[in-house]
Chains A and B, each alone.
Chain A
């Protein structure tokens, strides 16, 4: 495993206060509890008000074994968010066959650990993506296909699509294309597996550590926030 290949992972510059990021709003009561202001008063107690935790690593041998297990059984959430979902279907057939890699499509986020964002994301879909992503159990990974997830693609001047998906949820691997061929998607999955086995697929921990940044971005864009602050 060439470990030095992963040292150039992009590190985000995260604003933490009102001056550098004007959309940042005070939405937590203290360091540990969330306010859940989007819900009506009587329902706030029913939903989670704890922040996401950073996943602690086990000793090296066990962590390597666990990483191997995670990499070899990625279960994809069946959510076709955009165009890219149509290139997920051929992967399930016998020609490209991702079930030999241990991957299977799951209907519910509670049973999935890989979220494939297929292409462009409109604001209405972003709310559901955030909701599904937060409901997934860790350790979880995100793969973004198509150029629309990278920089807006050909909808660069559209008023309803977001241009950088990783301001809202953390992305581990990008797969370029419009559409990428199934072989390209498989190559992207292979890169994700290498990242997981090297212990560098840190999307979930990035989300927990920089929860304020992500939440502020999400709340600035999703104007009618009628769900818990952390959909766990």
Chain B
């Protein structure tokens, strides 16, 4: 690899483009192989990447500035749109941060409904990811299956909350509404079909020789890199680190559900796929447990007085949850008025897509860069909010 690097003069790499040895390739925003609107600036020698710079900012809407200008209840429609494919974690965290600053506790049934919402959203997001990962390696069939199946899950959401993608279901004090009649029966049908789909994915993709060849050894995350690069979620669990916020610091009713932390010891993209595939199965089991154990009846909402002009007491807090990609956090500062002072969103893709991807992409073939990017499960909207 050393012979591939260009000579360095004055601290800058001098590419002799006339020699046609190096090529600067932009895997830019308009590309079917990126997971969102993000671009990679690759320096290539032959077929190998020798340097990678991630460029983000194509989806920057200034959420934190907008949230300072809106009242707390007006920010709820905004907050979902921070992470486009999995919006429920955002809603939950904003509501949880508000409730912690207000010092209120929500009713039991609301907690169960929130957990059900989060787990169902986890299922939908993992299905989309599996489709994306297979598509990045060229197998479009899995993408078709998974996305079609995700549509049935979105139908369940539509029946429950009223919208397919941005539910706006978790509000301060609880949730917005009850489960419809007969919803649990329909949900059971959908998730049984999802379980069967996972079995088919195992047959077609996990045992697939081409996927094994391409994904084994791709993007190796050593355990020593976990803390310097802030690798969280299934990326860390694929390297053998047992960390899951639902078990370590349980929130909502996760301490009443029984599940294990799933890890794999091969630190590459293949291991990460296995971790996420098993976690999809785990999400299905959790949904079944929640539906079975949920207390019937009870209030699903704690009415807050005068919610439009709600004044939250002065304070600062940090709440976190385990989303499909890892640790998702909200740091909220309030100064006693009806407007939040500062809300910072910690998306897990912030460190994965920038520092970690730039490190892992070195030495990878051009064709595998898309597969590597998808295997880190980065969603660009939460990077630049």
- B57-99 Cβ-contact flags toward A at 8 Å (1 or 0): 1111110011001000000011001001100000000000000
Q: Give A69-103 interface residues, CB cut-off 8 Å to B.
A: 77-83, 85-87, 89-90, 92-95
* A80 CA / B32 CA spacing, docked (Å): 9
Residues of B within 8 A of A157 (CB): 66, 69
Are A128's CB and B59's CB within 8 A? no
Are B61's CB and A161's CB within 8 A? yes
Give the nearest-CB partner of A181 in chain B: B164
Which one of B143-151, B185-193, B225-233, B271-279 contacts A? Answer: B143-151
B166 within 8 A of A: yes
Are B147's CB and A78's CB within 8 A? no
B289 within 8 A of A: no
**Contacts A124-B60, A154-B78, A160-B61; A81 near B147 (Cβ below 8 A):** no
* A58 CA / B151 CA spacing, docked (Å): 43
Are A82's CB and B66's CB within 8 A? no
B37 within 8 A of A: yes
Residues of B within 8 A of A124 (CB): 57-58, 60
Residues of A within 8 A of B60 (CB): 122, 124, 160
A217 within 8 A of B: no
* A122 CA / B36 CA spacing, docked (Å): 14
A227 within 8 A of B: no
What is the interface size of chain A, counting residues whose CB is below 8 A from a CB of the partner?
Answer: 35
Are A122's CB and B58's CB within 8 A? yes
Residues of A within 8 A of B128 (CB): 89
Tell which of B29, B78, B81, B148 touches A125, judged by Cβ atoms closer than 8 Å.
B29
Tell which of B65, B77, B78, B81 touches A83, judged by Cβ atoms closer than 8 Å.
B81
Are A128's CB and B62's CB within 8 A? no
Are A132's CB and B147's CB within 8 A? no
* A122 CA / B62 CA spacing, docked (Å): 10
Residues of B within 8 A of A20 (CB): none
What is the interface size of chain B, counting residues whose CB is below 8 A from a CB of the partner?
Answer: 32
* A153 CA / B78 CA spacing, docked (Å): 11
Give the nearest-CB partner of A120 in chain B: B61
* A87 CA / B65 CA spacing, docked (Å): 27
Residues of B within 8 A of A125 (CB): 29, 37, 58-59
**Contacts A92-B144, A94-B144; A83 near B84 (Cβ below 8 A):** yes
* A196 CA / B170 CA spacing, docked (Å): 43
A179 within 8 A of B: yes
B28 within 8 A of A: yes
* A125 CA / B164 CA spacing, docked (Å): 26
Q: Give A138-179 interface residues, CB cut-off 8 Å to B.
A: 154-155, 157-161, 178-179
A130 to chain B, nearest CB (A): 12
Tell which of A107, A122, A155, A161 touches B32, judged by Cβ atoms closer than 8 Å.
A107
Residues of B within 8 A of A86 (CB): 84-85, 165
Residues of A within 8 A of B37 (CB): 80-82, 85, 125
Residues of A within 8 A of B249 (CB): none
Residues of B within 8 A of A80 (CB): 36-37
If A86-B165, A107-B32, A179-B165 are given as contacts, then 5 extra A-B residue pairs at C-beta distance below 8 Å, sorted by A number, are: A81-B58, A90-B148, A107-B31, A109-B30, A161-B61
Nearest 9 pairs of A and B residues by beta carbon? A93-B148, A79-B30, A78-B32, A125-B58, A107-B32, A158-B62, A93-B147, A155-B61, A124-B58
Q: List, sorted by A's number, 10 A–B pairs whose CB atoms are closer than 8 Å.
A: A80-B36, A81-B29, A90-B151, A90-B154, A92-B147, A93-B151, A120-B61, A125-B59, A154-B77, A179-B165
